[in-house]
Amino acid sequence: MEPQWDDLKVFLAVARNESLSAAGRVLKVDPATVGRRIARLEEALNAPLFVKSPQGYALSNEGARLLQNAERAEQEMNTAFQDLSGQGQQLSGQIRLGAPDGSANFLLPQVCAEIVERNPDLEVQIVALPRVINLSRREADMAVAVSAPTAGRLSVQKITDYKLHLVASTNYLRNAAPIHSRDDLRHHRIVGYIQDMIFDKELDYLAEAGLERVDLSSNSVAVQFNWIRQGAGIGIMHDFSMRFARGLVKVLENDISLTRSFYLIRHADDRRIVRLNRFAEELTNGMRREIARLEGLV
């Protein structure tokens, strides 16, 4: 029995999701069907592809070797289809974009909505996670990140810089002790990240600002933003987020000012796919425009 390409697609889904049920949801088939297809592929190849463990389906040595070849075959097919579709047509199909929740909450919704408005047959999914998106497991087609990875077969493109400042609500400041210097901050409630859940050193804003104590902490930028917006404390926030709430002002603006960068991370092989290249171009241009608009530069 010769292996079938459809069975390789099932294999890829199980390898990336590490369970029959999760692969079935991606493929829109029941787990029993996924299991039968994997068994058929293993019979055709005369090799075990997975080892069942308490954590799910782990690749065997044979499965790991097959994964490399299957992903290359998948890439070649995608490239061929995209080349045939032509560059002048509108974008279509599904593109999944991973991002930290700061950009996912305050930048990407409007940027991606504009892209879909121009390309009605396109479906964009934003995966907002407080950790690095794993592209090797195909958690997303591409990802926005706050630092450039140094390992893996990845393509890295700097999108743009952005600013962050110490921010508080006017209601909070009205009833709080005056702030004239960094020393005065010890009399205030500080909002920030949970220290042991900071997944990228670039997010350790308070350490750079010389603030060691955090009274209200979360691994989510959105939670921190809402605490500050509601007058619960004072913390570092993106300049581009400030327009999403009334009454937010910068504190010690000339003394505490941070600059960070966004990067677009992609599979190296995906740079040959016309469709993803076009989306990446629209995304990066849109993010640059939106950050400039929200930071008041245009």
Q: Which residue has the tokens 């995966």?
A: 127
CA distances to 65, 71, 291 from 156, in Å: 26, 20, 20
CATH code of the domain covering residue 232: 3.40.190.10
- Phi-psi domain of 254 (left: phi exceeds 0; alpha: psi -120 through 50; beta: other): alpha
Residue 283 shares a structural domain with residue 152: yes
pLDDT higher at 161 or 197 = 161
Q: Which residues pair with 258 in a beta bridge?
A: 164
Map tokens 């000012």 to a residue: 257
Whole-number pLDDT of residue 286: 96
Joined tokens for residue 176: 């709080």
Residues 166 and 252 in one domain: yes
| Whether residues 247 and 166 fall in one domain | yes
| Residues 265 and 156 occupy one common structural domain | yes
CA of residue 178 relative to chain centroid, distance: 38
Residues 227, 191: contact at Cβ < 8 Å?
yes
Query: Does 63 have pLDDT greater than 90?
Result: no
pLDDT digits (tens, 9 = 90+) for 240-256: 999 999 999 999 999 99
Q: Are residues 153 and 116 in the same domain?
A: yes
The larger pLDDT score, comparing residue 8 to residue 130, is at: 8
pLDDT reported for residue 73 = 77
CA angle 136/138/144 to nearest 5° reads 85
Structural contact between residues 211 and 135, judged by C-beta atoms closer than 8 angstroms? no
Asked if 98 and 131 count as a contact pair (C-beta separation under 8 A), the reply is: no
97 with 236, same domain: the answer is: no
**Residues contacting 172, CB < 8 A, separation 6+:** 228, 231, 232, 233, 234
What's the whole-number mean pLDDT along residues 173-183? 92
Say whether both 12 and 126 belong to one domain: no
Side-chain half-sphere of 243: how many Cα atoms within 13 Å? 11
288 and 154 in one domain? Answer: yes
Predicted confidence (pLDDT) at residue 173 exceeds the cutoff of 60: yes
Q: Which domain holds residue 274?
A: 93-160+261-294
Number of structural domains found in the chain: 3
Task: For residue 50, give the CATH number of its domain.
Answer: 1.10.10.10
Tens digit of each residue's pLDDT (9 = 90 or more) over 82-113: 555 545 567 888 899 999 989 999 999 999 99
Both 52 and 177 in a single domain?
Answer: no
Q: Which of 273, 298, 275, 276 is nearest to 288 (CA)?
A: 298
Asked if residue 101 lies in contact with residue 169, where contact means CB atoms within 8 angstroms, the answer is: no
2-47 pLDDT, tens per residue?
667 788 889 888 988 889 998 899 889 999 999 999 999 988 889 9
